Amino acid sequence: MTAYAIDDLQPSPFDERVAPTYDAGSAHMFGADVLGPAVDVLQELAGDGAALELAIGTGRVALPLAERGVEVHGIDFSEAMVAELRRKPGGDRLPVTIGDMATTRVGSDYRVAYLVYNTITNLLTQDEQVECFRTVAAQLAPGGAFVVEVFVPQLRRMPPGQTAVPFHVGRRHVGFDTVDVVSQLSVSHHYVREGQQDGLGRELARYAASAHRYVWPSELDLMARIAGLRLRDRWSDWDRSPFTADSESHVSVWTKVVD
């Protein structure tokens, strides 16, 4: 069994090496069929109020949401990713605070806060994930919503004794996770063909890895309850398709309990 120590693991760096090519590496997430339904949901939840995006990154979601007239504020720990956001049309108009999404507070009375694309797993301890819920809840207006998009751990694919599972096998990229089911920590390994050769004619490949703490839907519900939030909706995807035992991801909406 693979055993990971927190001190030995790091989340994705999203630094100067990663930020300039991040959008290209996630191009499928910019498609209208993916992004459109997400922005639809968030716009509806925001109404005539403001939205807060945790880990705003290069603005994949924030920019089209702002284009629809929603006031969007952001938090991100990576200055390099925010620099990429600033280079895009309208990116310089979005207020962004550099800080840790688990503890940074930037305002209050937000109608919706959201954390998408599995990013909550970048918080590597349960305590950090719980604190993130508390921090968000403190900034929501009464009845405001917190939305999280994250994968469902696919441990049923792993027979006893197996600690690695592939998530993508292609001509240019091979990715697999190594998992410690005790700590709920996993490491995503990526091998990417560079399209270049060394002096011996061998094709070069680039390796990268990032650490994550996967979290179950029921565990997230308990975190929400601790923070004073209650589950309103859970879908399999942004198109509001039903969440089932076979769903590989979920979009969950918790609302702040009104006293």
pLDDT digits over 8-41, tens only?
Answer: 555 566 766 766 666 676 777 777 888 999 999 9
Do the beta carbons of residue 195 and residue 205 sit within 8 Å? Answer: no
pLDDT score recorded for residue 203: 79
Which among 20, 257, 229, 23 is positioned nearest to 132, based on CA atoms? Answer: 229
Considering only CA atoms, give the Rg of the chain. 19
Mean pLDDT value across residues 65-74: 97
- Position 198 pLDDT exceeds 50: yes
Q: Identify the residue with better confidence: 208 or 103.
A: 103
- Position 58 pLDDT exceeds 80: yes
pLDDT score recorded for residue 1: 41
Pairwise CA distance, residues 83 & 78, whole Å: 9
- Position 79 pLDDT exceeds 50: yes
C-alpha dist (Å) from residue 239 to 44, 53, 223, 250: 13, 20, 25, 11
Q: Strand 185-197 and strand 173-180: pairing?
A: antiparallel
pLDDT score recorded for residue 29: 75
Mean pLDDT value across residues 237-242: 97
Which residue is listed with tokens 């108009």?
Answer: 93
Distance of CA 22 to the CA centre of its chain: 14
Overall CATH class of domain 6-153+215-256: alpha beta
| Average pLDDT score, the chain | 89
Pairwise CA distance, residues 83 & 40, whole Å: 26
Helix (H), strand (E) at residue 232: strand 229-235
Pairwise CA distance, residues 106 & 76, whole Å: 11
Mean pLDDT value across residues 152-156: 85
- pTM exceeds cut of 0.75: yes
What is the residue extent of each domain of the chain?
A: 6-153+215-256, 155-212
